[in-house]
Amino acid sequence: MPETQTILFLASNPSETGIIQLEKEHSRISRELQDSDHPQSFIIRPKDAVTLLDFQESMSREKPTIVHFSGHGVSGKASLRETISEHGRSLKLREDDPEDDSGIILLDYSKRQAFFVPTQVIKRIFESHMNLSGLPPVRIVLFNSCYSQAQAEAIAQIVPYVIGSTSAVNDEAAIAFATGFYSGISEGLPVEMSVDRGITSAMAYGEPEDRFVLYRDGKKVDWNAVAQESREERNLRQPVEERSTPPPTADQHTLGVIPTFIGFTEKAEKDLEPAFFIPTFIRSLEEYHDIFGGEFEMEFELIRHEDNLFVGFSKGTFFLYRSLKLFFANGGKGCYIVSVG
């Protein structure tokens, strides 16, 4: 039985700010967790209309494994004024303080007006929780808000995994990212794979691949480096004679299946052990069916006449951009398909 994880869902949407669908986001996340193989392993604790004091009290009271903030974030005073409507003109800012430039928007103590909380204050909350309280440590923090990379970077030295965004994010894309992320978490996937699933989900709603960022152990994750680590681990698992074999090449109109750079088979997902496919070539739709059945047949037909294309498939996701990056990083030639489970 997996260890129980408590998710603290903190939400804030003051009336002076643009309306975001917090209930929809919470509902989608809850559904993913309840539909998992071990729904009893996840406890989600929602807290709406959060004030700064609520934020601190909820951290100590709920003892979360994952802290999820859904609301508005700002990158500077200009974007803050754009986010806050005329009703928020009484908001006080220290114009001469550079550390006051980024943060999140909560509610004030009366819960009547928006209240800007600088990034440094958020950082101090997590420092106190992790270093002073003696409470169980937080493992993951997700700032599902606009311009939240500053918050993610600030607490990355404190919490093992922190996720933020590099710019504004449209509401549907933010919900899609959260849904995809918790889909991976509920399946027991690594945080990196769960974030990748969330990124792909958000891309379907118009966000670029680099909109969301992940910090791991204090450093921003380089997805090409993650792929390289997986390839190196794969090579260590292979016999010496297999490692010395050059990678397969393919001529025009030829598709190849090569070992996946990151992914799990259905069986391996439970054990979190990587599994890889034997290199082979596909030269016809019939050969494709022999290996993959009917799954992704439409995508196969669309791309099978492309040159110099590296495409990844998984059970539920089409990792086109990630695979393209890896392909060009490897200086590869030909057209390949990678099965990711």
Averaged confidence pLDDT in the chain: 74
pLDDT tens figures, 152-211: 999 999 999 999 999 999 999 999 999 999 999 999 999 999 999 999 999 999 999 999
Supply the CATH number for residue 151's domain: 3.40.50.1460
Residue 251: other Cβ atoms inside 10 A:
11
Sign of CA dihedral 212, 217, 223, 224: positive
Per-residue pLDDT at 15: 86
Instruction: Read off the pLDDT of residues 274-320 as tens digits, 9 standing for 90 and up.
Output: 333 333 344 555 665 665 566 555 555 555 554 434 444 443 333 44
pLDDT digits (tens, 9 = 90+) for 120-135: 999 999 999 988 767 7
Inter-residue long-range contacts of 227-231, CB under 8 Å, 24+ positions, other chains counted: 227/261, 227/262, 227/322, 227/326, 227/329, 230/261, 230/262, 230/274, 231/261
Together in a domain, 178 and 284: no
Domain of residue 195, residue span:
5-221
Q: How many domains does the chain have?
A: 2
pLDDT tens-digit map of 11-30: 999 988 888 999 999 999 99
In a domain, 226, yes or no: no
- Tell me the pLDDT tens digit for each residue of 207-251: 999 999 999 999 999 877 766 665 565 566 555 555 444 444 433
CA distances from residue 336 to 91, 200, 249, 291 in whole angstroms, order as listed: 55, 20, 9, 14
| Crossing angle of helices 191-203 and 320-330, rounded to 10° | 110
Q: Please check whether residues 113 and 251 belong to one and the same domain.
A: no
Cβ–Cβ < 8 Å for 65, 43: no
